[in-house]
Structure 1
Amino acid sequence: MKTEMMGGIPAFQEVMALCVVMIAQRSMVTAKTAFLFILPQYNISVPTADPFYLTDSETVHYHYGPKDLVTILFYVFITIILHAVVQEYILDKISKRLHLSKVKHSKFNESGQLVVFHLSSVVWCLYVAGTEGYITNLRSLWEDYPHVFLSFQVKFFYLCQLAYWLHSLPELYFQKVRKEEIPRQLQYICLYLLHIAGAYLLNLSRLGLILLLLQYSTEFLFHMARLFYFADENNERLFNAWAAVFGVTRLFILTLAVLAIGFGLARVENQVFDPEKGNFNTLPCRLSMLLLVCVVQAWHMWRFIHSQLRHWREYWKEQSAKRRVPAAPRLPARPIKREPGYHENGVVKAENGTSPRTKKFKSP
């Protein structure tokens, strides 16, 4: 049995730690501590009326608190294990067949991991948004704010999202990422953590989930295009599709943020800053949130335009260089040895005007 997985991750120790936690869950003494790591905390029962049975029932909802950090830490370890499994049993086997360089190999691993994560997150977002009714009723994104009480699937989704992006920080060391790539990866890791934690703590979980759905869909298309490009450098059709979707996604994100924060929350009656009740619906808070969203989307768009212009310049330089390549020099024609005299009507004439005497051959 291997004691280490790809990237220097002590997989055997992590699996043993997971087994210890699962065994501790079975113990009567440590059951409460184990559930603190595994299950979301701060649950509360809310009485609801059942119109079918005409009886009262209870629905379990959740809110956030400091104990969520323990649950997130547990799922960080789980994510590290899953990351190593995908790396060793899927990505490494594919990259060996492609024979990539070190730079392309690093980007291939990055895109491969993010394709798996973004695809699973998009499916999860669609399921949660569909079952909770966020897509069919956009007014629910800002109505009844603050959204302090969350369903199990919404809270568990946010805990897993925070765990994934937190696990990306030690993965920079485990995957031996080049120093030149670390600042770029730290930028988008911190941006994701800022937006996800902000939506979770400011009780904007519904809006944050829809925005993540739009963002993850675009990122999935981009990293899928990179994987196809590494397999075949002439395959750039997905990049063209991603470029078309990228600008539309930025427009949708800005429109939805302005609609929900700028207009929706501004019409809610309760506009008092009360952190104890989870209410942050004040004019300074709304302006700060809108400013952050607009600045980040403008930054993404500026980087996109800058990247496209750079690619176009490189393309036209290659085309102009091909046109300037001089044609292969022609070899000088071999001179034809002519007989003395001049030619007239296809007959060789001597210099004095008479045709040369033909040479007679002796008969044997």
Structure 2
Amino acid sequence: MAFRRRTKSYPLFSQEFVIHNHADIGFCLVLCVLVGLMFEVTAKTAFLFILPQYNVSMPTADSETMHYHYGPKDLVTILFYIFITIILHAVVQEYILDKISKRLHLSKVKHSKFNESGQLVVFHLSSVIWCFYVVVTEGYLTNPRSLWEDYPHVYLPFQVKFFYLCQLAYWLHALPELYFQKVRKEEIPRQLQYICLYLAHIAGAYLLNLSRLGLILLLLQYCTESLFHLARLFYFADENNEKLFGAWAAVFGVTRLFILTLTVLAIGFGLARTENQAFEPEKGNFNTLLCRLCVLLLVCAAQAWLMWRFIHSQLRHWRESWNEQSAKRRVPAAPRLPARPIKRESGYHENGVLKAENGTSPRTKKLKSP
């Protein structure tokens, strides 16, 4: 992280130098953009990186409000917030996760999973709070019909567009982080799967002007994922603590049902009954039968794949626990050795003295002199 002491130096622009200083490099680039705001010549260019573009003033009953739509300049803004996310990622890793993992003394495999879950818990919880605030203030929860009414939703409020830009920046930053964090080759395919899945759904909702529906689905998904990664963190702290996994398993199935129901309701029934059903990309209208079927197929296939993986992992977990219990039952008890018979001398004891059978004490053997 920036301004911290280095115990080891690496050759400039080498692979190890970039890996260990990628957050500092990102911090310098962000600082250059912020410095550009101070000068009139570069201020307009710097604002392209920081603020969302394509603003349009919309008249209302009282005054005018500023709304936004998407365009190619959004890529510049996303790039800037990718560097912001890389810096925040390094801050959480060094000042929170590394200090906790040192106390837990985890193995390499558990250490990698602990870092992954720690980063995702911070992101998911902050996204849940932010997304819940947006859907409440915009009235999407109190009025479910707004998810498909007045489609296409081309003009977005500032907080909705900024939320989508930050979401895309985070999941795009996760791709180079696989290299910076030196993720094991066995873990890369699994992480690439859910990164690409999130990017496809978020970018699809943003580009197809389904931002309202996408916010609700992200809120449901992030609540479930935050519970899962919290359960993993508690499990790494204490392996006997598995109660949160049971709660996550119950919430996971309910979330899949809610996502499928809401998607079919909004796209399959809501958009199908609207009057404006034409393919007009220049106006942001994609409300055709083919587009609706493609979106429904993508969402249903993703939920079915997640449910299949969940059932497969649960069955494997139950099989492993059953094998452990059966192995413990098959272990035979240690055989007891027969007690050795105590050799007693003839006679009996009386007041601690051995007596012969006729009542006299036995003779003591004379020791031979050396």
TM-score, scaled to structure 2: 0.90
Aligned length: 343
| 8 Å CA contact retained: 1:7, 1:84 | no
Structure 1 position 270 matched with structure 2 position 272? no
Match of 1:66 among 47, 65, 72: 72
Residue 204 of structure 1 corresponds to 210
* C-alpha deviation, 1:47, in angstroms: 1.2
Match of 1:16 among 10, 13, 28: 28
Residue 75 of structure 1 corresponds to 81
> Which AA in structure 1 matches 2:325?
Q
Identical aligned residues as a percent? 81
Residue 360 of structure 1 corresponds to 360
Q: Determine the C-alpha separation between the residues in 2 that align with 1:68 and 1:35.
A: 12
Structure 1 position 296 matched with structure 2 position 305? no
Residue 188 of structure 1 corresponds to 194
Residue 47 of structure 2 corresponds to 35
* C-alpha deviation, 1:276, in angstroms: 0.4
* C-alpha deviation, 1:121, in angstroms: 0.2
Residue 45 of structure 1 corresponds to 57
139 and 361 in structure 1: CA distance in 2 versus 1, 3 angstrom threshold:
closer
* C-alpha deviation, 1:330, in angstroms: 0.4
| 8 Å CA contact retained: 1:79, 1:163 | yes
328 and 13 in structure 1: CA distance in 2 versus 1, 3 angstrom threshold:
same
Q: Determine the C-alpha separation between the residues in 1 that align with 2:320 and 2:27.
A: 48
Residue 2 of structure 1 corresponds to 4
> Which AA in structure 2 matches 1:75?
Y
| 8 Å CA contact retained: 1:8, 1:175 | no
TM-score, scaled to structure 1: 0.91
Q: Determine the C-alpha separation between the residues in 1 that align with 2:316 and 2:33.
A: 51
* C-alpha deviation, 1:15, in angstroms: 2.0
Structure 1 position 94 matched with structure 2 position 100? yes
| 8 Å CA contact retained: 1:9, 1:84 | no
| Equivalent position SS for 1:331 | coil
109 and 231 in structure 1: CA distance in 2 versus 1, 3 angstrom threshold:
same
* C-alpha deviation, 1:7, in angstroms: 5.7
> Which AA in structure 2 matches 1:19?
L
Residue 159 of structure 1 corresponds to 165
Structure 1 position 125 matched with structure 2 position 137? no
Residue 368 of structure 2 corresponds to none
Tell me the alpha carbon deviations over residues 312-352 of structure 1, each in whole angstroms, 9 at most, x when there is no partner.
000110110111111011011112446789xxxxxxxxxxx
Structure 1 position 234 matched with structure 2 position 243? no
* C-alpha deviation, 1:59, in angstroms: 1.1
| 8 Å CA contact retained: 2:22, 2:180 | no
Q: Determine the C-alpha separation between the residues in 1 that align with 2:27 and 2:44.
A: 21
Structure 1 segment 100-111 matched on structure 2, within 5 A: 100-111=106-117
* Unaligned 5+ runs, structure 1: 51-56, 342-355
> Which AA in structure 2 matches 1:24?
G
| Equivalent position SS for 1:187 | helix
> Which AA in structure 2 matches 1:117?
F
Q: Determine the C-alpha separation between the residues in 2 that align with 1:15 and 1:361.
A: 100
| Equivalent position SS for 1:60 | strand
Q: Determine the C-alpha separation between the residues in 2 that align with 1:205 and 1:75.
A: 20
Tell me the alpha carbon deviations over residues 207-228 of structure 1, each in whole angstroms, 9 at most, x when there is no partner.
0000000000000000000000
| 8 Å CA contact retained: 1:6, 1:88 | no
